[in-house]
Amino acid sequence: MEKGMKLPAKLKPAQIGRCGELLVQYFLLLRGIESAPLTTDSGIDLVAYSLATGTPRTIQVKTNLAPKPGGGKGKLALDWWVEHKSPAQLVALVDLSQQRVWLLEAMEFSSLAQQKSAKGFHLYFYLDSANKLSTAGKPIHISLFNQFLLENRVGDLF
């Protein structure tokens, strides 16, 4: 699949999630990091292992098929929810339409989340360059998250 390729809208949520997991696994393997999926839904989707550090890391993968209007009517955005009780050490955020993956430590995700509720933490960012910071001063533009792209984080996290 080419970057920016239009994806079929008929994919089921489980298929979208699995595509995200496979994309994360692919990008990690390209960087010499082995990973395997878990078969149960425990809040951990992958366990990754780096021979360089000898340390396993747990990952929860959250996937968007493509950007969607923020709030249903606003500018295009990507967003992800993570439950408070997630046991994963890392959170991988996936945009399938552009084949992009951001990798954050769980504490980074919770501190960067613009919304916190009983459900969990909600992190989003807009694609429109006019939006840079929310009213709370937290980053909300995609360019401000480049440091978290998987290719920029692997060396620090594994």
pLDDT greater at residue 128 or residue 152: 152
Q: Does 151 have pLDDT greater than 70?
A: yes
- pLDDT mean across residues, the chain: 89
Strands (E), the chain: 33-37, 46-50, 55-64, 68-69, 76-82, 90-95, 100-105, 115-116, 121-126
Task: Return the residue matching tokens 């613009």.
Answer: 114
Task: Tally the residues of the chain.
Answer: 158
pLDDT tier, 47 (very low <50, low <70, confident <90, very high otherwise)? very high
Query: Which of the residue ranges 9-18, 59-68, 109-118 has the most confident prediction, judged by mean pLDDT?
Result: 59-68
DSSP state of 39: S
Instruction: Specify the pLDDT at position 137.
Output: 64
Q: Identify the structural domains of the chain with CATH numbers, from first to last.
A: 13-157 (3.40.1350.10)
Share of the chain above pLDDT 70, in %: 88
DSSP state of 16: H
Share of the chain above pLDDT 90, in %: 67
Q: Does 73 have pLDDT greater than 90?
A: no
